[in-house]
Amino acid sequence: MPHFHHATDHSYLSVRKNSFFLDWQTQPNAFKCYPHFYPRFSIEEYEELDELHLIGAITYSKEYPSGNHLLRSVPSAGALYPCEIYIQIRSIKGLLDGVYHYEPRSATLVLLHELNKDGVEYSFPHQTQQKGLIFLVSTLYFRSAWKYRNRAIRYIFLDSGHQLGAISAYLELVQHDFSIGFDFDKLALNEAFGFRNDELFTLSLSTHAPSDKMVTKLTQKLPYVAGSDYLENNDFIQQAYTQSATYHDNPISCRFFEGVDREVLREAIVQRRSIRAFRMESITQEAFEWIMHGIVAFANAHDIDIFYTIHRIEGMEMGLYQNGVLVASGDFSQKSRYLSLEQNLGGQSAFTLYFTSHESQKYQKVTILSGFIAHILYLRATIKGIGCSGIGAYYDEECKAFLKTRNNILYLLAIGK
């Protein structure tokens, strides 16, 4: 596992020795806005883009003394929302072929560059024209690093995974086939989009509509636009990203909501929340099995091992499970609570998952996919009326010792009522 993962480990002592004051009045703006003179197009005016706003829609507003805090259809560590979404669009009736930026507050697409024979496909292994939609997810890491400092290297990938989950859920809702891609020249695209090391591409997702036409690289570099009201560079995060950005991988195709009624899925996308406390009620074995259906097999296929501790599931033995197999019987609710930086959520849940991996070369991929899988579980649990909360802060080495694994711990997820 890359050294930068170990360098950001939490321990019982480290979280107490390295505490610091956080002034919430200095939180960076979580919305990137291009200047007003860029052409804007309302999503709702295009039938072929029906429901596209759900990839990052504002779904709830919380009022605080400092003002309203806007929550979205995608969860984020600390509700800091480091991700931005760019979409290359071809062959949508009434809309110019071009590269667009998605603005969630207004549900609009901002045209950044009109396409001719060029396109972002130039940075992918097969440089043929792709009709339909190509989503590119970037991260403005300072939004997370402002609070989490160097450990934000983990959160920006996990948040990218949640964003991937939100986009894929939308595509399943509108019944589009798609493939997830990690093998593209992220560094070249960062430069082509005018990023200045403060914004970084992490993943792509394409609808299936290839052609045999070759494309050239974008004919002009996009102008730099700051992604927040102020930004601070972090050399550790920039170096960690660069070291882990390039690797070869195959596209991933998957579906997790086949057979789910369209309106049920849409309601889950809109109503999904990160729960703050569980009532410590049991869930049924049927609900557990439906939520987890196909998850372990998908994770294992991409070098992710899933452990979980079962606390309150009717008809299932309490204990520690690895990839669906019971490896130790007992009540480990208090252990999961402690390992989750002593957050009650870890032990009050019906079950708590640990996403782990031994993969080092594809560190970005396995971390992003951990967030992606967690997002699918969020939505599947929401459909069943069950709550979820992602946990990105935990005692790393103590988790490994408890699970008896040499894998690194990437993410925790508590699920229950």
Q: How confident is the model at residue 65 (pLDDT cuts 50, 70, 90)?
A: low
Say whether both 204 and 154 belong to one domain. yes
95/194 same-domain check: yes
Residues 225, 300, single domain; the answer is no
> What average pLDDT does the structure give for the chain?
95
Q: Alpha-carbon distance 163 to 137, whole Å?
A: 8
* Mean pLDDT to the nearest integer, 297-311: 98
Q: Tokens 């086949």 — which residue?
A: 258
Which secondary-structure segment (H or E) carries 168?
Answer: helix 152-173
CA 131 centroid distance within chain:
25
pLDDT value, residue 209: 80
Helix (H) or strand (E) segment spanning residue 89:
strand 83-90
What are the helix (H) ranges across 349-389?
Answer: 363-383
- CATH number reported for the structural domain that contains residue 298 in this entry: 3.40.109.10
CA 177 – CA 179 distance, rounded (Å): 7
Over range 355-360, report the average pLDDT. Answer: 96
User: Rounded distance, CA 291 to CA 377, Å?
Assistant: 6
In a shared domain, residues 207 and 297:
no
- 396 is a domain residue: yes
Examine the pLDDT at 156 and tell me if it is beyond 70. Answer: yes
Give 113's DSSP letter.
E
Of all residues in the chain, the percent with pLDDT exceeding 90 is 91
Expressed in percent and rounded to 5, the helix, strand and coil fractions of the chain are 35, 25, 40
**To the nearest whole percent, how much of the chain has pLDDT over 70?**
99
| Residue 9 forms part of a structural domain | no
Mean pLDDT throughout 252-274?
Answer: 97
For the stretch 41-50, pLDDT in tens is: 999 999 999 9
Question: What is the model's pLDDT at position 16?
Answer: 87
Please tell me whether residues 291 and 228 are part of one structural domain: no
**Is residue 192 domain-resident?**
yes
- Give the pLDDT confidence score for residue 1 in this predicted structure: 52
In whole angstroms, how far apart are CA 406 and each of 321, 393, 398, 400, 410? 16, 19, 11, 6, 12
pLDDT at 313: 98
Do 228 and 283 belong together in one domain? Answer: no
Q: Are residues 350 and 402 in the same domain?
A: yes
Q: Is residue 375 part of a domain?
A: yes
Mean predicted confidence (pLDDT) in 264-288: 97
259 vs 153, 208, 288, 297, 374, CA distance in Å? 36, 21, 17, 19, 20
**pLDDT reported for residue 379:** 98
pLDDT at 64 over 70: no
How confident is the model over 235-253, as pLDDT tens digits?
A: 999 999 999 999 999 999 9
What local confidence, expressed as pLDDT, does residue 60 receive?
87
Query: 137 and 35, same structural domain?
Result: yes
The whole-number average pLDDT for the span 181-186 is: 97
- pLDDT higher than threshold 90 for residue 61: no
Per-residue pLDDT at 25: 87
- Through-space distance between the first and last CA atoms of the chain, rounded to whole angstroms: 35
- Domain membership of residue 18 (yes or no) is no
Residue 30 DSSP symbol: S
**What pLDDT digit, counting tens, does each position of 80-130 carry?**
999 999 999 999 999 999 999 999 999 999 999 999 999 999 999 988 999
Flag whether 19 is in a domain.
no
| 330 plus 371 within the same structural domain | yes
pLDDT tens for residues 378-415?
999 999 999 999 999 999 999 999 999 999 999 999 99
Span 192-211, pLDDT tens digits? 999 999 999 999 999 988 78
State the pLDDT at residue 66. Answer: 63
Cα 410 to Cα 208: distance, rounded to the nearest angstrom = 30
In a domain, 152, yes or no: yes
Q: Are 90 and 201 within one domain?
A: yes
Domain span including residue 379: 274-416
User: In this structure, are 319 and 376 located in the same domain?
Assistant: yes
Query: How many domains does one find in the chain?
Result: 2
398, 367 Cβ separation under 8 angstroms: no
